[in-house]
């Protein structure tokens, strides 16, 4: 019966391969996300790999969300500046009218 090693990183895979070499046991490496770095060692086909269909996260989606959020913030800032400006203008007009009345 083979021993299953969960080895996602290159360092983990290398350690498992060294252990297998030292002890001579049957083994299967699973979750080997970085196995492609050591592809030459797996070409012989003596050590089976269990592959996962866990695909990396789509970063373009996050970028699009961040971009939309930044755009929304920019629009809100612009609206706030306009609002502040209009309040300042009304205030000045009000103060001028008050001065003329006095």
Domain extent listing, the chain? 3-50, 56-102
Residue 102: is its pLDDT beyond 70?
no
- DSSP for residue 102: -
Sole residue written with tokens 């996962």: 52
Band of pLDDT at residue 49, cut at 50, 70 and 90: confident
Which residue in 49, 14, 44 sits closest to 29, CA to CA? Answer: 49
Q: Please write the tens of the pLDDT for every residue from 68-96.
A: 999 999 999 999 999 999 999 999 988 88
- Cβ(10)–Cβ(34) below 8 Å: yes
């Amino acid at each position: 019966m083979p021993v299953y090693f969960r080895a996602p990183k290159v360092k983990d895979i290398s350690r498992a391969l060294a252990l297998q070499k030292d002890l001579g046991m049957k083994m299967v490496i699973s979750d080997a996300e970085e196995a492609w770095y050591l592809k030459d060692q797996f070409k012989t086909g003596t050590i089976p790999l269990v592959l996962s269909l866990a695909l990396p996260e789509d970063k373009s989606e996050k970028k699009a969300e961040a971009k939309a959020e930044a755009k929304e913030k920019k629009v809100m800032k612009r609206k706030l500046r306009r609002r502040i400006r209009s309040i300042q203008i009304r205030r000045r007009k009000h103060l001028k009218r008050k001065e003329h009345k006095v």
